[in-house]
Amino acid sequence: MTSTQERPAAEIGAPRKRKEDARLITGRTRWTDNVVLPGMLHLAMVRSPFAHARILGIDTEAAENAPGVMAVLIGTDLADEQGALPNAWAVVPEQKAPTHPSMAVDHVAFAGEIVAMVVARTAAEADDAAELVDVDYEELPPALDLKASAADEVLAHPDLGTNVSAVWTFDSAESGTGQDVDAAIATARESGIVIEREIRQQRLIPAFMEPRSIVVDPTAEQLTVWSATQVPHFVRIFIALVLGIPEHKIRVIAPDVGGGFGGKLQFTPEEVLTVIAARRTGKPCKYSESRSESLMSAHHGRDQVQKVTLAATKDGTVTGFKAELLADMGAYLGLVTSAIPLLGALMYNGIYKFPAYRLTFTNVFTNKTWTDAYRGAGRPEATFAIERLMDELAAEVGADPLEIRERNWIKHEEFPFDTVTGMRYDSGNYEAATAKAKELFGYDALRAEQRRRRESGDPVQLGIGVSTYTEMCGLAPSRWLGSMGYVGGGWEHASVRMLPTGKVEVITGTSPHGQGHETAWSQLVADRLGVAFEDVEVLHGDTQIAARGLDTYGSRSLAVGGMAVLAAADRVIEKAKPIAAQLLEANVDDLDFTGGRFGVRGTESGMSMGELAFAVFQGHKLDGSDVERSLDADATLDPDDFSFPHGTHLCATEVDTETGGVKIRSYVSVDDVGLVVNPLIVEGQVHGGLAQGIAQALFEEAVHDESGTLLTGSFVEYLVPSAADLPAFVTARTETPATTNQLGVKGVGEAGTIASTPAVVNAIVDAVRHLGVTDIPMPCSPYRVWKALQEGTRS
């Protein structure tokens, strides 16, 4: 293959400042809510205040007569039209799920579910009229507690007959990837160590900064939909499938999108209803949610109860791991709700060599907001469990938590390594990352300070938390996804177009919303084609431009989408080569492609990619009708396997034993995300990931009261941390290339979030373990830390 190996890879690995910034720092950004069209109407949603109720009747008369109102629609009006929202993942063939209407018809299953919609000339008039819609509810007992709901004590959907959606099991003995876990635990009970814990993964809210917004224009031949989504291609397909509109009559645009974190990986009721409103009125319609609506109705994340058991020998060598998870689906299944536990289910072994493993998860409906992907999606839950347990094992053995980990982890010379869950870890070097982290952290000095503080009875105690994580990312492999019950694929598509003036357009099927693909993909293409970084334009997020794509989530964009871009660029070169040979009157085999220029070996003769592009555009000198007058190329890429980033995170916390207050004193993360295309972007992803993981450990939780009302329904109560609440991070990298793609890249979008939560909680527990504390539920609020200290002191 034509290669650019000879020239220095100036672009790949360069800390390029982002192209995207120019519009974002000047306010020239195009958010969905900025879209204004002639005659556009505005929607307001009426949402159920009750978690579980029957709708006895809805009186819309006052709302219909309110100023500016064009229509008021209720579920019975839409029963035929609205279809049912999709669940794209059957984790078991017999998976149960209630019908998920975009607008409730006669039954509401969570507080925040839409029961009516007002279409008015202004947003203010829509809000005014929405208050006049009078809904007659008969309250039903809500299913709220996860364990009680799993036992069907109260049914979230009485028609379904059970709250249990699916039960999924993996057993290493049954699948032949390992031994029998019950035997391992039995042995450990007799002569080793058994650690058992119940862990609560609290419910979180993705809380992207840009609230969701949708504009639908029904005029012209195609229905045009702007949506603040991570997944414009999904939205297009599902509008077609759910509403029966032919797919080719739909154009979906995700313009600038203000964050997602999995929260915008969804096909939403609001999208369906805005399409319906626009088609019914024949006018463009806009719906922009308020933050309060967003927090209560956009899907939540996490929310599991995990019963976990770790068996080990007396010296701390793990012999088995068992987990029984209850996962709260909330009221309905969204696109991949049911698969969130599955995405972590094969990763509870972390970086370790466990001989025996069994995991069962039970998906349970409750009358709470539906859950689905949130940054990490299943892997944070897995990593937290195993990394908390490894610290507990170290405490039990009386060894340093890093030593216990090293005793059990896969050594760098053992890769590729087939794990007890049947995954193949392609590469890694846990020793290197850990050594670097220890050094940056000043591990030994902090341990010495910790001892001093303990001895002096300092009211502020110091704790050190460890997290040595790995995760599977880069969704993809379509074959794997299919084998696990997902209806879609995981490939990605890209096109590279050589423009006549030598500029390059790159079209990607990924849909960035903060990740910097315009910059990073430009670097990839500039490197490959030898053109200037500035001469590459990356287009995305519009199904009319990027016709094929599977969007952005699961830390997949670079490892799948970026590699598709590279493959397309390589095809441009392949395509150009015979044409260059023709124009240079040389033999193809005598051509070199270096620095963006085809040269005839041993001569001065040659031409640049730009010159070639113009010559192809003219077509004057091309012989033969079989020579295509274009250098454009497409590529679709579907990798054979995941990539497995890893790293070592160390956190030092100061715990005020008088108030329970926790302060992060220092945080070091050393991440191995393989080859890095742009270190600035990678570092930024790590920072943001750390912030969200730390926020789970310390601040955030979606809390419902006993009637199912969300108590954390605004940013007053749902504590997204500010700059003043987070420490400065020390971040560094080791670089062990992945072997599953041509560049050796891995994902980085979720790593920080996955790794940091257990590091923080381990540090807090470590600070107060000598005071009798062995666990603190998340978020570790001062109140909870204080209570744990009270109980620890008593026992």
Partner 1 sequence: MIPAGFEYYAPTSVDEAVTLLHDHEDAKVLAGGQSLFAVLRVRLAAFESLVDLGKIDELRGIRDDGDALVIGAMTPHSVVQIDPQVFDHARLISLATATIADPQVRHRGTFGGSLAHADPAGDLPAVAVALDASFVIAGPGGRRTVGASEFFQGVFTTAVGEDEVLVEVRVPKYTGWGAHYEKFNRVAQQWSIVAVAAAVRLEGDTIAEARVGLTNMGSTPIRATAVEQALVGQPATADAVRAAAERAADGTSPPTDLNGDADYRRHLASVLTRRAVLAAAGTG
Partner 2 sequence: MTRVTVKVDGSSYTDDVEPRTLLVHYLREQLGKTGTVVGCDTGNCGACTVHLDGRSVKACSVLAVQADGHEVTTIEGLATNGQLHPMQQAFHENHALQCGYCTPGMIMQSIDLLAENPDPTEDQIRLGLEGNLCRCTGYQNIVRAVKAAAGGAK
- Asked if 13 interacts with partner 2 (CB under 8 A), we say no
Give the footprint of partner 2 on residues 612-631 (CB under 8 A).
none
Instruction: Find which of partner 2, partner 1, none residue 711 binds, CB within 5 to 8 Å per kind.
Output: partner 1
Instruction: Find which of partner 2, partner 1, none residue 24 binds, CB within 5 to 8 Å per kind.
Output: partner 2
CB of 701 to partner 2, least distance (A): 16
Under 8 Å between Cβ of 762 and 755: no
- Asked if 128 interacts with partner 1 (CB under 8 A), we say yes
Instruction: Find which of partner 1, partner 2, none residue 261 binds, CB within 5 to 8 Å per kind.
Output: partner 2
CB of 352 to partner 2, least distance (A): 28
CB of 544 to partner 2, least distance (A): 23
Smaller CB separation from partner 1, 185 or 215: 215
* Residues 6+ away with beta carbon under 8 Å from 345: 168, 170, 359, 361, 378, 382, 421
Smaller CB separation from partner 2, 568 or 682: 682
Cα dihedral across residues 542, 543, 546, 550: positive or negative: positive
- Asked if 318 interacts with partner 2 (CB under 8 A), we say no
Which strands make up the sheet holding 107-108, listed edge to edge? 107-108, 53-59, 134-139
HSE on the CB side for 195, CA within 13 Å? 26
- Residue 654 parent element (H or E): strand 646-656
- Asked if 714 interacts with partner 1 (CB under 8 A), we say yes
Write the DSSP string, 155-208. -SSGGGS-SEEEEEEEEHHHHTSSB-HHHHHHHHHHHSEEEEEEEEEEEE----
CB of 687 to partner 1, least distance (A): 18
Candidates 126-134, 560-568, 578-586, 731-739: pick the segment binding partner 1 (CB under 8 A). 126-134
CB of 757 to partner 1, least distance (A): 17
Give the footprint of partner 2 on residues 498-527 (CB under 8 A).
513-516
CB of 491 to partner 1, least distance (A): 41
Write the DSSP string, 713-757. -STTTS----GGGSPPEEEEEE----SSSSS-B---TTHHHHHHH
Q: Which string of x and - marks every residue 704-733 that binds partner 2 (by CB under 8 A)?
A: ----------xxx---x-xxxxx-xx----
Smaller CB separation from partner 2, 516 or 599: 516
Smaller CB separation from partner 2, 226 or 321: 226
- Residue 405 parent element (H or E): helix 401-408
| CA separation for the pair 241, 272 (Å, rounded) | 11
Query: Residues 6, 27, 190, 624: which binds partner 2 (CB under 8 A)?
Result: 27
Q: Omega before 727 cis (within 30°)?
A: no
Smaller CB separation from partner 1, 174 or 717: 717
Query: Residues 6, 28, 483, 585: which binds partner 2 (CB under 8 A)?
Result: 28
Label each residue of 517-573 as H, E or C.
HHHHHHHHHHHHHCCCHHHEEEECCECCCCCCCCCCCCCCHHHHHHHHHHHHHHHHH
Give the chain's count of helices (H) and strands (E).
Answer: 22, 28
Instruction: Find which of partner 1, partner 2, none residue 457 binds, CB within 5 to 8 Å per kind.
Output: none
CA proximity to 677, closest of 9, 2, 8, 5? 9
Candidates 200-208, 509-517, 686-694, 781-789: pick the segment binding partner 1 (CB under 8 A). 781-789
Give the footprint of partner 1 on residues 76-105 (CB under 8 A).
none
| CA separation for the pair 580, 735 (Å, rounded) | 37
CB of 713 to partner 1, least distance (A): 9
Query: Residues 61, 439, 534, 717: which binds partner 1 (CB under 8 A)?
Result: 717
Q: Classify residue 249 by burial, with Cβ atoms within 10 Å: 0-12, 13-18, 19+.
A: exposed
Q: Which string of x and - marks every residue 666-705 that binds partner 1 (by CB under 8 A)?
A: --------------------------------xx---x--
Smaller CB separation from partner 1, 712 or 736: 712
Query: Residues 169, 281, 292, 709: which binds partner 1 (CB under 8 A)?
Result: 292
CB of 790 to partner 1, least distance (A): 9
Candidates 339-347, 414-422, 620-628, 675-683: pick the segment binding partner 2 (CB under 8 A). 675-683
Query: Residues 91, 340, 690, 759: which binds partner 2 (CB under 8 A)?
Result: 690
- Asked if 200 interacts with partner 1 (CB under 8 A), we say no
Under 8 Å between Cβ of 238 and 86: yes
CB of 513 to partner 2, least distance (A): 6
Give the footprint of partner 1 on residues 582-601 (CB under 8 A).
none
* Residues 6+ away with beta carbon under 8 Å from 579: 612, 615, 616, 622, 627, 631
- Asked if 210 interacts with partner 2 (CB under 8 A), we say yes
The three-class DSSP label of residue 361 is: strand
For the chain, report the end-to-end CA distance as a whole number of angstroms: 69
Smaller CB separation from partner 1, 200 or 548: 200
Give the footprint of partner 2 on residues 748-777 (CB under 8 A).
752
User: Residue with structure tokens 């849909």?
Assistant: 511
**DSSP state at residue 473:** B
Under 8 Å between Cβ of 536 and 36: no
**DSSP state at residue 306:** E
- Asked if 661 interacts with partner 1 (CB under 8 A), we say yes
Bridging pattern class, strands 460-470 and 729-734: unpaired
Q: 55: which 2 tokens?
A: 């709708």
CA angle 264, 556, 499 (to 5 degrees): 95
CB of 260 to partner 1, least distance (A): 23
Q: 671: which 2 tokens?
A: 């991440």
| CA separation for the pair 397, 40 (Å, rounded) | 67
- Asked if 725 interacts with partner 1 (CB under 8 A), we say yes
Give the interface with partner 2 as residue ranges (CB under 8 A).
17-18, 20-29, 31, 33-34, 36, 124, 207-211, 256-259, 261, 290-292, 513-516, 680-681, 683-685, 687-692, 714-716, 720, 722-726, 728-729, 752
Give the interface with partner 1 as residue ranges (CB under 8 A).
123-124, 127-128, 131, 290, 292, 658-659, 661, 698-699, 703, 711-712, 714, 716-717, 719-722, 724-725, 781-783, 786-787
